[in-house]
Amino acid sequence: MTTDCPVIVRSPSELVAVLPFLLGYHPANSVAVVGLSGPNVDFGACYELPPPDDDPHVAARAVAATVARQASPSVVLVGFGPPARVTPAVLRLAEALRLLGVRVNDVLRVTDRRWWSYFCSDLDCCPDEGTPCLPPDSVIAAEATFRGEVALPSRRDLTAQVASVEGPERAAMGDATEHARKRFAGLLTDDPGARRYSRRIRHAGQIAVRRAETRYRSGHAIGLDETAWLGVLLADRSVEDYALDRVGPQDWRIRLWTDVLRRVEPVYVPAPACLLGFTAWRAGRGALARVAVDRALAVEPQHQLAGLLHQILGFGLSPHMVGANFPPGRARRRRPAR
């Protein structure tokens, strides 16, 4: 992820304390990479520790290539977990980054609420027993919270934020979706012409997208019937592209597409999942973008837009690297037919 509002850290303790807020959750059994411009944090990403039987060199080279593309002046690596798993992973990654010309300022390990540095041998600074992590109510954590940043307990909790609703709301959405499908079919009952049919779908979709945006921009939400109707219309590629061209980093857009994603029936998941993914990516919330696109690919592995976002996230491309006004929907429409 990247941030448009750089965080200033003055010590390893502060870096460890602010990392969960940058990532969106408290990491475990993973390696976090933090890009620095002086004292400013301008990039952060998190990768699971490789399985014990895997060659750490292979994982290190893949992660290093992604990190190098961020072009941060320097990085710090922070491994979370037991020493036997963290040590080979972070040291191999540090070496792989060095070979690519990336400056590694420090390599840390966090275990049981204490941190150690692999680069520092000063016992006054980094004692053998480790340094206690800052408490949850530290000043830097309070500053992050004041800015509206949230650190969920785990990545599982982040995934739960985009999971399907259950219970009575799920049943009510099933009924609303059946009604929306009948309404959709009614758009072409009196005109079987394909061109006019496409125009009707596109027009209805544009109205539905704009109405939903208006509601969420004003702090409100749309009901189940409107959500079902929007979800059905988004299955049409022209409507999906229209919504995609309007994507921005605003929080209300994240709320909008999170609600639609969680409510729609499984078959309609890919489009709102991708819209949430692109919105989160534009907002610098890479972890949220990742779990959203994972939902899309779980339903439709060959979904074109989900595949594009998967590549963007996999290569560690930030909105600044590809242009803040990058319009993948418009680009897809320009692609020549085969």
Residues 9, 140 contacting (CB under 8 angstroms):
yes
Average pLDDT over all residues of the chain: 87
Whether residue 71 has pLDDT greater than 60? yes
The pLDDT assigned to 294 comes to: 94
277 Cα distance to chain centroid: 6
Q: Which of 59-73, 74-88, 296-310 has the lowest mean pLDDT?
A: 59-73
In this prediction, residue 326 has a pLDDT band, given cuts at 50, 70 and 90, of low
Q: Do 89 and 56 contact (CB within 8 A), yes or no?
A: yes
> How would residue 256 be classed by pLDDT, with cut points 50, 70 and 90?
very high
pLDDT of 175 strictly over 60: yes
- Work out the pLDDT band at 194, boundaries 50, 70, 90: low
Task: Give 338's pLDDT tier (boundaries 50, 70, 90).
Answer: very low
pTM of the predicted model as reported, rounded to 2 decimal places: 0.79
Strand (E) or helix (H) holding 32: strand 30-37
8 A C-beta contact, residue 139 and residue 11: no
Using pLDDT thresholds of 50, 70 and 90, give the confidence band for residue 4: very low
pLDDT for the residue 7: 63
pLDDT, position 121: 81
Residue 251, C-beta contacts closer than 8 angstroms, at least 6 positions apart:
148, 283
CA 90 → CA 108, 135, 240, 282, 334, distances in Å? 8, 25, 41, 29, 43
Phi-psi sector, 196: left (phi>0), alpha (psi -120 to 50), beta:
alpha
What sign does the dihedral 156-158-159-165 (CA atoms) show? Answer: positive
What lies within 8 Å, CB to CB, of 247 at 6+ separation is: 253, 275, 278, 279, 282
Strand, helix or coil for residue 43: strand
Query: For the segment 208-239, what is each residue's pLDDT rounded down to a tens digit?
Result: 999 999 999 999 999 999 999 999 999 999 99
